[in-house]
Structure 1
Amino acid sequence: MSAPPARQLIDGKLVPARSGATFPILDPATGEEIGHAPDATPADVDAALEAARTAFDRTGWATDLALRVRCLRQLHRALVEAGPVMRALTTAEAGAPTFLTRGPQYDLPVDGLRWVADLAEGYAWETDLGVASPLGIPTRRTLRREAVGVVAAITPWNFPNQINLAKIGPALAAGNTVVLKPAPDTPWVACELGRLAAEHTDLPPGVLNVVTPADDSVAALLTTDPRVDLVSFTGSTATGRAIMAAAAPTLKKVLLELGGKSAAIVLEDADLAAAVGAAAFAATVHAGQGCALTTRLLVPRDRYAEAVEIAAATMRGLAPADPADRRTICGPVISARQRDRIQAYLDLAVADGGRFATGGGLDTAKDGGFWVQPTVIAGLDNSSRVAREEIFGPVLVVLPHDGDDDAVAIANDSEYGLSGSVDSGSLERAKAVAARVRTGTLAVNGGLWFGPDAPFGGYKQSGLGREMGVAGFEEYLQIKLVAEPA
């Protein structure tokens, strides 16, 4: 790994924090320091916001589509060329298994930049609504779509490249300027994104800024400052609520992609071994650190014991290992704090009367790093906290159901509605059940919903708005109606 030291991007310049302070970047597989990030001050955030505001208000960025498309294509090429370093950095900083960097942890979101550049280039920025005569006045109406303004993009640590690019790509393509604030656990890949943009594209100064405060109170300035027109946040539901409240006094637009407790529904005519094995695999990938992973497994009651054992056998075969090994599926969790949070939930499962079919504790066999055993929890119902709250670890809760209606009721009995899956021997039956589940994305009989052209987001307390796809692009646009004499 040969990435240069992390630096912020503010007004076109790669800079340290104004105070000179830094904070350590840890490798979650070893717990060792692998670098340092600038610890941004309020003055850094202020400078980034002023640069973004000026670039939007006083340059032609918002109206120069050709420039925007060219810059996005340049950034796409730079990220492709930087792939080997960025993949290694993602594995080292986020603990992401290296096989995922060839998919959603790097290659797919990078390709998404090319997709959104193509979309912007061919997008219908104006629509002629024709002539009408309101109040007897012949009038031609034109619908225009324009950039919202300054976007504050606040991103988490679990899929840092995917989420950084899913926000800045459409925001920039739409003509906005951006201040990106990554999670303190994964600032380096965001700083590298900023460096590549500064050194390999024609982005005007201030159009893209990257700040890396470790203190949440400094980051919170992005949610309250009147220079920000839109806040796009991915993270926990609790933090999303706080951001929504903080943005309310200035009536900013808020996009929220929040938590999930998604259900994998297995109907009685499904291939039990295949469906349960796939759900257990999904809950273990990247140590279960994905908001859309299916972490509740709903199986027919009369095959419950069999399903629990299949899930346990699958997870036992996916023991945590070095994320740099191409064979690894389950790496470390991101931090000691997250490891301890997961352990608290495992303790709670026992206190509530649950049992572990496999796992149930920390992986203490490794020297250093933050490791949790892949765990199957059985013996609880959907009212238990481990079945209702997002754990964000390699933990699968297996619940019995009594047929299609009961499975739908259990799946919908959640404050979340982000993702899920349905498996049946009949595609039509699976689709009928899927139509009744209140969630933003659903996999039916193994279908894959993820892609740069496909909108992603949730129902209920899993968020507001969509990312990716045309719907995600249009979140970063305003609608203006212009009327002229006919």
Structure 2
Amino acid sequence: MMLPEAKLYIDGKLRPAAGGKTYDNIGPWTGEVVGKAADASADDVNEAIAAARRAFDETDWSTNRELRVELLKKYRALLQANRDKLVQIARLEAGSAIGAAARAQIDGALNGFDGLLDCFPKVTWQKDLGKKNEYGFDTQRLVVNEAMGVVGAITPWNVPLYVNIGKVVAALLAGCTVVLKPAPDTPLMGAIMGELAAEAGFPPGVFNVITSADPAMAGEMLTRDPRVDLISFTGSTAVGKLIMKNGADSLKRVFLELGGKSAYIVLDDCPNFPMVIASSMVVFHAGQGCAYPTRLLVPKSRYAEVTKILEMAYAGFADKWGNFDEPTCIMGPVISKKQLERVKNYIEIGQREGARLLAGGKVRTDKGTGFFIEPTCFVDVRNDMRIAQEEIFGPVLVVIPYENDDDAVRIANDSIYGLGGAVFGDTQRALGIARRIRAGALSVNGGMSITGDLPFGGYKQSGMGREWGVEGIEEFLETKAIGIRAS
């Protein structure tokens, strides 16, 4: 199956890259070409930035809230009408199994869009602080929130539509104009957003999409160009640090949603203990999620029991992944050969560090010519091991025993990251532990802590700023104080 060509969307026009240059879109299931994408030049990127700047400076986009809401509701309907196409793109381009494509990849993104639309009326645009007498006269004071300006949105390949919508829709609702740079591995999920924006009748320049085979060129331009006011980036912590450095010269506002090594804490009084332990397997979308809890923390008193449960759970899952046409399948390949080698390397590191490989660990060429690696579980892991400290971004779970609640909190917080996490047990006890964990999104007993109407973001080296929710829209606003001398 082949996907349509991903084209650029610049200044209201869908078009090829300069000179008609394209690059191959590689499908993770086969390792073969599944489509072509426009390979933007520096001139193309420059044109997109210039278009976004003009649209912000010379039109009423930033002030016409009614127009923005009307167009974005129309845009949401077009995305829904193209749902089947979006699912197919997620399957072929991102390597998503059907069960994951329909849930997190597409429906999660569309639900998130709805959450942002629902939150928009709650955004504060102006506050009247009344009169105050200073220096012998009265001043009427207003605090006004206004759109920040031109946004460079740089997005990853793991759940591309979800992250694209989280950045683009929030920024557009706030009144900003946007240049979206999708990851090179998933160009069409960005390009189709440009296609549907054209169909919805977006004014020229308010939204632009640039695809490029070069993972750095367009991002470097966006982060260094003084015409871009704000960068919103989701990706690795290392690249996030580089973006901060690049943006320093022009003092850009920078929002970063970065890596994670989230903890999944199971308490000894957890109801349905065996089911909760079995559910900790890192298999959904091959573990390619920044907030995915990949450190399983369990009571030392029940460690032997945990090991047996996981042995059975992984054995039972052995034939339930890597099936392209199975509607219930939730795990396919990893995104690329590069990512496959990364995961494989970490598995080898874990073995050298002395962790015990309980399940998986092998590249599975029998699954096909794509990038398949088994669901993997390490036990007898110490939290100072690299496999417990570094983000693997693959189907690898590490199991760490703890002595008591304080020890569980200590281990969970002993990380440079602080993005997500989960706690299972007596509700009040689990809630008390969740409050002590230094992370941005915590689930207690399976509660949803990541939805379109909730703010999402990290502590520590998991980033800064928040996406989604009212807070995610207001991140794209600037604050102005106005004082009016009263007669």
**Which interval holds the TM-score relative to the shorter structure?**
over 0.9
Matches of 1:186 and 1:237, distance apart in 2: 20
Q: In the alignment, what sits opposite 2:38?
A: 38
Matches of 2:207 and 2:78, distance apart in 1: 15
Q: Is this contact kept in 1: 2:7–2:15, CA < 8 A?
A: yes
Name the SS of the counterpart of 1:103 in structure 2: helix
Q: In the alignment, what sits opposite 1:116?
A: 116
Residues 26-57 of structure 1: per-residue CA shift (max 9 Å, x gap): 11011111101111110010000000000000
Name the SS of the counterpart of 1:19 in structure 2: helix
Q: Is this contact kept in 2: 1:318–1:330, CA < 8 A?
A: no
Letter in 2 for 1:5: E
Change (3 A) 1:332 1:300: same
Name the SS of the counterpart of 1:446 in structure 2: coil
Name the SS of the counterpart of 1:36 in structure 2: strand
Change (3 A) 1:377 1:410: same
Letter in 2 for 1:326: P
Q: Offset at 1:475? A: 0.4
Q: In the alignment, what sits opposite 1:353?
A: 354
Letter in 1 for 2:335: I
Q: Is this contact kept in 2: 1:151–1:228, CA < 8 A?
A: yes
Q: In the alignment, what sits opposite 1:291?
A: 290
Q: In the alignment, what sits opposite 2:8?
A: 8
Q: Is this contact kept in 1: 2:7–2:38, CA < 8 A?
A: yes
Q: Is this contact kept in 2: 1:72–1:113, CA < 8 A?
A: no
Q: In the alignment, what sits opposite 1:304?
A: 303
Q: In the alignment, what sits opposite 1:391?
A: 392
Matches of 2:465 and 2:59, distance apart in 1: 28
Q: In the alignment, what sits opposite 1:368?
A: 369
Q: Is 2:158 the counterpart of 1:158?
A: yes
> Once structures 1 and 2 are overlaid, which stretch shifts more, 94-103 or 188-197?
94-103
Q: Offset at 1:202? A: 2.6
5+ residue gaps, structure 1, are: none
Change (3 A) 1:2 1:59: farther
Give the TM-score normalised by structure 2: 0.96
Change (3 A) 1:122 1:376: closer
Q: Offset at 1:122? A: 5.4
Matches of 1:58 and 1:117, distance apart in 2: 26
Q: Offset at 1:327? A: 1.4
Q: Is this contact kept in 2: 1:56–1:150, CA < 8 A?
A: yes
Q: Is this contact kept in 1: 2:244–2:254, CA < 8 A?
A: yes
Q: Offset at 1:311? A: 2.3
Matches of 1:225 and 1:16, distance apart in 2: 23
Name the SS of the counterpart of 2:484 in structure 1: strand
Residues 61-94 of structure 1: per-residue CA shift (max 9 Å, x gap): 0011111001101110100000111111111110
Q: Is 2:127 the counterpart of 1:127?
A: yes
Q: Is 2:214 the counterpart of 1:215?
A: yes
Matches of 2:466 and 2:307, distance apart in 1: 34
Q: Offset at 1:293? A: 0.6
Letter in 2 for 1:370: F
Matches of 2:116 and 2:381, distance apart in 1: 44
Q: Offset at 1:367? A: 2.2
Q: Is this contact kept in 1: 2:412–2:437, CA < 8 A?
A: yes
Matching of residues 81-120 of structure 1 within 5 Å: 81-120=81-120
Give the TM-score normalised by structure 1: 0.97
Matches of 2:469 and 2:325, distance apart in 1: 31
Q: Offset at 1:397? A: 0.2
Change (3 A) 1:367 1:122: closer
Q: Is this contact kept in 1: 2:439–2:459, CA < 8 A?
A: yes
Letter in 2 for 1:365: D
Q: How many residues are aligned here?
A: 482
Matching of residues 44-443 of structure 1 within 5 Å: 44-121=44-121, 123-199=123-199, 201-219=200-218, 220-271=220-271, 272-280=273-281, 283-319=282-318, 320-424=321-425, 426-443=426-443
> Once structures 1 and 2 are overlaid, which stretch shifts more, 20-29 or 2-11?
2-11
Q: In the alignment, what sits opposite 1:455?
A: 455
Letter in 1 for 2:107: D
Q: Offset at 1:2? A: 8.1
Matches of 1:12 and 1:324, distance apart in 2: 37
Letter in 2 for 1:387: A
Q: Is this contact kept in 1: 2:6–2:36, CA < 8 A?
A: yes
Letter in 1 for 2:68: R
Letter in 2 for 1:464: M
Percent identical residues? 48
> Once structures 1 and 2 are overlaid, which stretch shifts more, 259-268 or 313-322?
313-322
Residues 397-446 of structure 1: per-residue CA shift (max 9 Å, x gap): 0001001000000000000000011111x211111111111110111111
Matches of 1:359 and 1:328, distance apart in 2: 18
Letter in 2 for 1:302: S
Matches of 1:255 and 1:21, distance apart in 2: 31
- Structure 1 residue ranges, 4+ long, deviating more than 4 angstroms after superposition: none
Matches of 1:418 and 1:311, distance apart in 2: 25
Q: In the alignment, what sits opposite 1:472?
A: 472
Q: Is this contact kept in 2: 1:316–1:374, CA < 8 A?
A: no
> Once structures 1 and 2 are overlaid, which stretch shifts more, 104-113 or 78-87?
104-113
